[in-house]
A and B are shown apart, each in its own frame.
Chain A
Amino acid sequence: MALQYTEQQREYIHLAQEFGDKYLKPELISKWDKAGECPKEAFNPAFDLGLHMLEIPKEYGGAGLSFEDSALVFEKLAEYDAGYALTLITSFVALRCVMISGTPDQARRFADILKPGKFAAFTLSEADSGSDSGSLRDTAVRKGNEYILNGEKAFATNGGVADVYIGVFRTSNNGNHGLSAFMIPRDTPGIYVGKHEDKMGLRLSNTVPLFFKDVHVPVENLIGKEGKGINIALNSLNLSRAFVSTLTVGIMQRALDEAGNYAVKREQFGQPIANFESVQNMLADMATSVETARLLVNNTMKMMDKGSLVRKEGAMTKLFVTDVAQKVTSDAVQIFGGYGYTRIYPVEKLMRDVKGFQILEGTNEIQRMTIAREVAKEYAKE
């Protein structure tokens, strides 16, 4: 193991492993993956352990772990199922976003909703506005002490299970600077949840379209200032990109563990396939990718703990980690041969799950644009 854990971190990882062994058994994960959804009750043990507010400070009811320590816990959980882990992460990233950009009162109200064991969702994308947030069309019109929200949101992670949303809506026709973010309780009249998306992977994670029809929210639910919605969205994305990378490392580690164990047991031509150079090369590349990805994520998390917004580093981490993970999981399937292509072994699921991370929280093409822009800015300063 290249990353040297502290004793405390080892204890956190061990507890995450005990949780996974007890509550995320392979037969359950397989059942929920086939069904394409995970029952809400399956998250109750996670709420009991405080996983839904792991990196949230104690004064808000969280466990108060650092980003670095939280990442190690969620990497371990992702070895069991990344969709399950993503559901929990999405909630506290949304809360963290309110803590960064909203008022202390808003953060406390948001935390109070999540604390007893509820979910949150962040909704930005629309059917025709994905990577291009400037073309977002859903509107928020101020009338007196209220905003009235109208529109349709697409691909809302946790949308169907959340009790509170952060939604980004257009308050003026000023491109990206005409967007504003709102805190929207789920039980507000006029919110309709669409059909759960039948996704390729991450099937334990709930993804739905959301419909807003004359939804009234009080002005005190405006997060930050009017027109600053894009900044809030970017803050949220910086955080979630780093955590998505963590989950990806967990998937990669599982793929390596599965493939490694299989390669030393599976015999062909009278010997384990791990003796063949072509398989050895794959295992070597996989192991190297896992270690380098983990170190990169760890460094980004350490920067976040020091207060950095990691706009460039978060994008770089997500780009690198989720791209190498495609090869790692694909090689795992390759090492399993024909069996890897079936649902008898879990490696095909890992390959399906990891593909999602190249797309969500900003496609990797957008990550490259972000990195290039930040790099150009640095050179322009010199």
Chain B
Amino acid sequence: MRPFLLALLAKEPAHGYELKQALEQTFGSAYPSPNIGQIYVTLGRLEKDGLVRAVDVEQSNRPNKKVYYLTAAGREALDDWVDEPTEGPRVRDEFFMKLVLAPMTGIADRMALINRQRRHYLALMRDLNELAERTDPDNQVALLLIEGAMLHLQADLDWLERCQEDLS
């Protein structure tokens, strides 16, 4: 979550709760909203590392609130995050390891493993279908995120089919 908070703070200084709201508004239901505690813990670490700084802002009839802003080092860390290529597809897939290793020991049969995994993927797809249906049609960011997850899942299923053809 560190780079996300840095990116939001690059836009404008904010306090913890505002950051939580900004994440929720941007990504909608497609992204798990972090709890406020996690956000404060992360902000604390960023502050310790010198990437953000906090100032106390007095409020009339409430305790002071901390407003965070990005430091020059924070800006640099954010630039690095944006510039570096993002990790591609995972080559080491846990299910694949299971598929290769389990039959060797006689623990499980490949066909049964593949069939169970297919049903599991499709159940996840059903959840994504439902999520897409519940999502505000104007929230393009959320819908694209869901579509990306669907495409990954489709690829996993296609791969599963290849495994079933060639290994069984």
A and B physically associate: no
